[in-house]
Amino acid sequence: MFATLLQATGAGDKLVTPEVPWSHLAPQLILVVGATVGVIAAAALRGRLRRSVGAVGAAVVAGAAIVSIIPLWHRVSNPAQGPISAVNGAIGVDRFSLFVTALLCAAVILASFTAEAYLQREGLDGPEFSLLLLLAAAGGSVMAGANDLIVMFIGIEVLSLAVYVLAAMHARRISSQESGLKYFLLGGFASAFLLYGIALTYGATGTTSLLRVQSFLAERVLTDDGLLLGGLALMLVGFAFKVGAVPFHMWTPDVYQGAPSPVTGFMAAAVKTAAFAGMLRVFVVGFASYADLWRPVVGALAIASLVVGAVMSVVQTNVKRMLAYSSIAHAGFVLLGVDAASAEGTAASLFYLAAYTAMALGTFAVVTVVGGSGDGAHTLDAYRGLGRRRPGLALAMSLFLLAQAGTPVTIGFLAKLGVIRAAIDADQWALAIVAMLTAVISTFMYLRIVVAMYFAESESESDDRGELRIPWGVGVTIGVAVIATLVLGVVPGPLEHLSDDALPVLVAVDGR
């Protein structure tokens, strides 16, 4: 067997090794190399670094990645050159992958500033936290650019492994350990589903390259497509788990509640963004010819997520659990854009993800502050009277919550408008109506928190349990998120312009 293999490949011949265009992979390389160098520096200078060095370092690396995206964006936008397919068609560099990468890097910057204050307060080890954020962003960036299902799987694993560790980072808190373990076990299951789906797809089409899957399905009609449908269904399960869509959402409340608050914000913003990027690329582009079959399923997932997310969030008393269910509802909204299976739907999904990244990171930055020492004060009671104690903080929180509810003049309204418009353009009236109704139900839950902050009398007068200090890191995150939520809510043009351009495409390898 081995001898025949050697014969088949022609032993001794030069193998054709793929060309690696390093400059086109600059964002991913910067993130990975930055994280690797950081790990070594952290180990070598153990204990001699100040905690803030990790956060600032991660922000600098992520910022450098964003800067490296700008020339690539211009190169890819140039009609004479167009999108790139790198490393023998494994990774695509198009405006879609660059947009998502920039979004992930922005999430890393904001999350690591929040985390800086958190680590200081909880007395946790510094740099690893921020470095894992960088690795997670690198994995998400690979997912966004993956032109091959196996590369997609590698990306999702790099992202997930980093986030499993992040969820368990506060190792002294038992709930953080529980959160990490739960996420790890269920996430492992989801990865297995995804991988088996990839295997079945390979069995049906004979390739894992999305481009070749696409052209294979465009050229012929399968008489017996059971294998392919099974693969599609399993891959959908894997992605639906990662984005936290009902009925694969069971882990979300527990994991979001137990994970350290800055990590929860990152999970809501970046992990969802990366998973949706993978989903858009695989389903909307790769399996476009099967859209008639997967669209009803995605639509059902969207309706279930919207309804369950909105209804369950109303009955919670823990703010982190409320926000977890609200993130499920937000996933439902983004699924609306996926379900549209159109260019408008993809652009609307990306805009929604960008908006949710700003809102979620801002919200969880406030939650980090209110959580207090030990990261335990997350009941609705902890928010009572916040409007009197810290008016600025309460005002920022109210803004983020109202934006999530979809109030006009904020970015949240435009995001919801975009996906609902895409659903209506795709003749999905039922979906659009369900989305609008559940948005009303969610609003009640957001207003409950606002009311608790401003109008509720605190029952006990032990209300003044210490001053809530706002460290500079959290201040930066909240400030940036407020500006993004308001300014982009009034002047959405630039972001809309970018997300409209950022469509995923599959291109053949140059010259082959």
Partner 1 sequence: MSSASDFLREYLTVLILGGVGAALVGLLLGASHLLRPARRQPGKSLTYESGVDPVGTGWTQSQIRYYVFALLFVMFDVEAVFIFPWATRLEAYGGFGLVEMGIFVFILLLGLVYAWRKGVLKWV
Stretch that binds partner 1, among 9-17, 22-30, 440-448, 490-498 (CB under 8 A): 9-17
Nearer to partner 1, 228 or 453 (CB): 228
Please state the closest distance from residue 131 (CB atom) to partner 1, in A. 10
Residue 13 near partner 1 by CB under 8 A: yes
Nearer to partner 1, 224 or 467 (CB): 224
User: 92: part of which helix (H) or strand (E)?
Assistant: strand 91-93
User: Would you give the binding string for partner 1 spanning residues 32-71, x where CB under 8 A is met?
Assistant: ----x--xx-xxx-x-------------------------
End-to-end CA distance of the chain: 30
Measure the CA–CA gap between 31 and 25, rounded to whole angstroms. Answer: 10
Alpha helices in 223-289 (DSSP H): 226-243, 251-258, 261-266, 272-279
Span 220-279, contacts to partner 1 by CB under 8 A:
223-224, 226-227
Span 193-212, contacts to partner 1 by CB under 8 A:
203-204
Nearer to partner 1, 31 or 323 (CB): 31
**Per-residue burial over 226-263, b = 16 or more CB atoms within 10 Å of its CB, e = otherwise:** ebbbbbbebbbbbbbbbbbbbebbebbbbbbbbbbbbb
For 134, phi then psi, to 5°, come to: -60, -45
Please state the closest distance from residue 40 (CB atom) to partner 1, in A. 6
Nearer to partner 1, 45 or 487 (CB): 45
- Residue 58: count of CB within 10 angstroms of its CB: 30
Nearer to partner 1, 1 or 15 (CB): 15
DSSP summary character for residue 22: G
Residue pair 320/452 in contact (Cβ under 8 Å)? The answer is: no
Residue 8 near partner 1 by CB under 8 A: no
Nearer to partner 1, 1 or 44 (CB): 44
The sign of the torsion formed by the CA atoms of 398, 445, 115, 375 equals positive
What value does the CA radius of gyration of the chain take, rounded to a whole number of Å? 23
Please state the closest distance from residue 17 (CB atom) to partner 1, in A. 4
Nearer to partner 1, 17 or 78 (CB): 17
Stretch that binds partner 1, among 4-12, 52-60, 257-265, 418-426 (CB under 8 A): 4-12
Q: Which residues are near partner 1 by CB under 8 A?
A: 9, 11-15, 17, 36, 39-40, 42-44, 46, 203-204, 223-224, 226-227
